[in-house]
Amino acid sequence: MNFEWQEGNKLRLLENGEEFFPRVFGAIQRAERTVLLETFILFEDDVGNALHRELLAAAQRGVKIEVMVDGYGSPDLSDQFVNSLTAEGVRFIYYDPRPLVMGMRTNVFRRLHRKIVVVDETIAFVGGINFSAEHNTSYGPEAKQDYAVEVKGPIVANITAYVRQAMGSEAVTRRWWGGRSHRPAVNTTPGNAQVLFVYRDNDEHRDDIEKHYLDMLRTAKQDVIIANAYFFPGYRLLREMRSAAQRGVRVRLIVQGEPDMPIVKVGAELLYNYLVDAGVEVYEYIRRPLHGKVAIQDQQWSTVGSSNLDPLSLSLNLEANLIVYDRDFNQTLRDNLEGLLARDCQRVQEDRLPPRTWWQLTKSVVVFHFLRHFPAIAGWLPAHTPLLAQVDPPKQPEMETQDRVETNNEGAKS
């Protein structure tokens, strides 16, 4: 499924759960026909239970609802939570649920990492925010900093069509000549309010999101800001970041300084010398864990989505981003990121770079070669066909009881 740039859209940047959840819940409350929802994580906490109530209420008034969650990211939902939805007609799907082996989850690779909501085919939400309380700043020091986009307009039809196919609601359309890759859509007539829905799968669209990042870096003229939670990209993207900085573009990278997983910072630090030596400004976000996956270029290009710049997102996971070409949206996201840089980030100066020892050099060489060849390596990993496991509605005891009563009554009459 190949999409083109769509014009005439209305966009709203949503920061963290405080802005995201009320907008999503409000849209579901107003739903008249359909709700489509994909997410990596759905927890039974305050946020998850609030979503559950809104979905249940919408289903009870006749809205057709389809929900798909990742089998790795959302493994602990209770039967009561799920069955109460399916009993009201909600189609509930687990993406690739895998059995535990020696108490360990085995569906580590090729996860459903997208976060998409579409309501009535008229409004959509795309970004990096899961349905869990940790995305609210009130959660505390471990609350995640993240973003999503609310969009209305022609692009919603593209998002709807894609999600329906991903959920198995509609047949998958494929190009008759097949093929493993294609050139992502090019914006031939740049303007405003233009949006492109771009995704990565493990079929024809394996590197679409990465290609848009590469093109953005190659065409940047003034400045680039990339804020990415899990930064460990391929060699090509690192090279383009360096090239942009070396030709005079101000390139700023925001990564986690207080990561939710310590290994994230260890990996990113291996790349600091390579980037800073070329003039890339590296900043660590130190207020709380950074979970965002956003970027801006010059005055009009920007992206918000679920895709990190790490091996999992770029080579294995199922991801989705919106690429936006709009001056006002770019400025809104720019103002937000500039605020993070001014208030909550610490620049990695030369005196904070990892030591330039032989051991450090050896590690860096190994890392670069690994990054350069990781897509090919990932292609060798086991690639079973992911299972979409739909949860059947529970049997209704009251109906069985009623059947027995009716049978007894008929026997008495006879």
CATH number of the domain that residue 111 is part of: 3.30.870.10
Tell me, what's the pLDDT at 387? Answer: 80
Q: Is residue 113 part of a domain?
A: yes
pTM of the model: 0.89
Q: Is there a catalytic annotation at residue 328?
A: no
Q: Is position 175 within any domain?
A: no
Q: Respond yes or no: is residue 10 known to be catalytic.
A: no
Give the model's pLDDT for residue 407: 44
Note whether residue 73 is domain-resident: yes
Q: Would you tell me how many other CB atoms lie within 10 Å of the CB of residue 355?
A: 8
Known catalytic membership, residue 326: no
Among residues 70, 96, 291, 326, the one annotated as catalytic is 291
The predicted pLDDT at position 352 comes to 74
Question: 64, 223, 298, 363: which is the annotated catalytic residue?
Answer: 298
| Catalytic entry in 52, 70, 96, 115 | 115
Q: Does the residue 399 lie in any domain?
A: no
Domain that holds residue 287: 10-170+191-391
The single residue of 52, 96, 113, 208 carrying the catalytic annotation is 113
Q: What pLDDT score does 377 carry?
A: 65
Question: Quick check: is 76 catalytic?
Answer: no
Q: Is residue 264 packed enough to be buried (19+ CB in 10 Å), middle (13-18) or exposed (0-12)?
A: buried
Query: What are the pLDDT tens digits along the chain (414 aa)?
Result: 889 999 999 999 999 999 999 999 999 999 999 999 999 999 999 999 999 999 999 999 999 999 999 998 999 999 999 999 999 999 999 998 876 666 666 556 678 999 999 999 999 999 999 999 999 999 999 999 999 999 999 999 999 999 999 999 876 665 544 545 567 789 988 899 999 999 998 888 889 999 999 999 999 999 999 999 999 888 899 999 999 999 999 999 999 988 777 666 667 777 888 899 999 999 999 999 999 999 999 999 999 999 999 878 887 899 999 999 999 999 999 999 999 999 999 999 887 776 767 776 677 667 766 765 665 566 566 556 678 889 999 876 554 444 444 444 444 443
Catalytic residue among 10, 45, 64, 120: 120
The per-residue pLDDT for 376 is 58
pLDDT value, residue 312: 81
**45 located within any domain:** yes
Among candidate residues 391, 292, 285, the one with its CA nearest the CA of residue 341: 285
- In the chain, the number of structural domains is 1
Q: Which two tokens stand for residue 215?
A: 């093109």
Report if residue 184 sits inside a domain: no
Burial (0-12, 13-18, 19+ Cβ within 10 Å), 180 = exposed
From the candidates 96, 135, 293, 326, give the one annotated as an active-site residue. 293
Residue 318 lies in a domain: yes
- Catalytic annotation present for 277: no
